[in-house]
Amino acid sequence: MNAIGLSTFIRREIERFLRTYIQSILSPWVSAILYIVVFGFIVGSRISLIDGVKYIDFVLPGIVMLNLITASFSQTSFSLYFQRFARHIEEVLIAPFSFFEMIFGYVVGGVARGLVVGIGVYVIALFFTTATIVHFGLFLFYAVSVSIIFSLLGLLVGLWADNFEQLSILNTFIIMPLTFLGGVFNSVKMLPAKAQFFVRLNPFFYFVDGLRYSMIGIQEANQWIGFIIIFGLIFGFGGLVWYLFKIGWRLRT
């Protein structure tokens, strides 16, 4: 194993998003403050308690998850795409890295950005809400595992995209809608029965619900189905990314 190489690779990925901290870190934090103010105080003050908690406390885990997903996805998709675009991916391709090490390096970068942004949102929220973390181990599990899923998905998009527009397609048309419809701003019980059925088919519902359970102890989804979805997606996306790196799809000519 190329341990020094891998640690350098990871450091570079982290330094890359720290270099652009206004866009990569401050911007989602500012958005999160706006969400908290609007949904927590302006809208939330007119909504009664949900399962005994204030609306802002109910919504906060969804806001954390939304930012975590977007940050980890953006990190890997943009990093890989830009390296391909500017051709300095060649620095990595000619170095003594295995496919696994390359993927691991990108994913750790994605998880790191996801955690910095996601946990940062939580820390900011502490100034506005009373939300705590009830199950810290589960909080960490959901934060890291969902970041891994979206870092891997980001790599797939980073490989596939041929231009900057394509890079944002998945985020705009799939990730954001599914996250918003996955119970970020509402309890599934608020929906009609038919809509509840469709929400339960949405994997994002299990991510949001799992994180919500770890933070405020309220659970609406079957946790075990959530675990199966999470591990299924990690292994599914991981296997696909590994295969595409192995054959050099859009990496090696």
Partner 1 sequence: MYALDISHFTKRYGKEIAVDDISFSVKPGEFFGFLGPNGAGKTTTINCITGISTVSQGTIKVFDIDVTRNYRDARKRIGLSAQEFNVDIWATTYKILWYVAGYFGMPKKQRNARIEEMLHIFELTEYRNKSFRELSGGLKRRVMLARAMIHNPDLFILDEPTAGVDIELRHELWHYLKLLNKQGKTIILTSHYLEEVEQLCNRIAFISKGKIVAIGDKSEFMSNGQTLEQKYLEITKKKI
What residues numbered 94-133 form the site for partner 1, per CB under 8 A? 94-98
Give the residue with the Cβ less far from partner 1, 91 or 162: 91
DSSP letters, the chain, are: --HHHHHHHHHHHHHHHHHTHIIIIIHHHHHHHHHIIIIIIIIGGGS--BTTB-HHHHHHHHHHHHHHHHHHHHHHHHHHHHHHHHSTHHHHHTSS--HHHHHHHHHHHHHHHHHHHHHHHHHHHTTT-----S-HHHHHHHHHHHHHHHHHHHHHHHHH-SSHHHHHHHIIIIIHHHHIIIIISS-GGGS-HHHHHHHHT-HHHHHHHHHHHHHH----S-HHHHHHHHHHHHHHHHHHHHHHHHHTTTT--
7 binds partner 1 (CB under 8 A): yes
88 binds partner 1 (CB under 8 A): yes
Distance of closest approach, residue 35 Cβ to partner 1, in angstroms? 31
23 binds partner 1 (CB under 8 A): no
Q: Which of 12, 135, 200, 250 binds partner 1 (CB under 8 A)?
A: 12
Distance of closest approach, residue 76 Cβ to partner 1, in angstroms? 16
253 binds partner 1 (CB under 8 A): yes
Binding mask 64-83 for partner 1 (x = CB under 8 A): -------------------x
Give the residue with the Cβ less far from partner 1, 189 or 252: 252
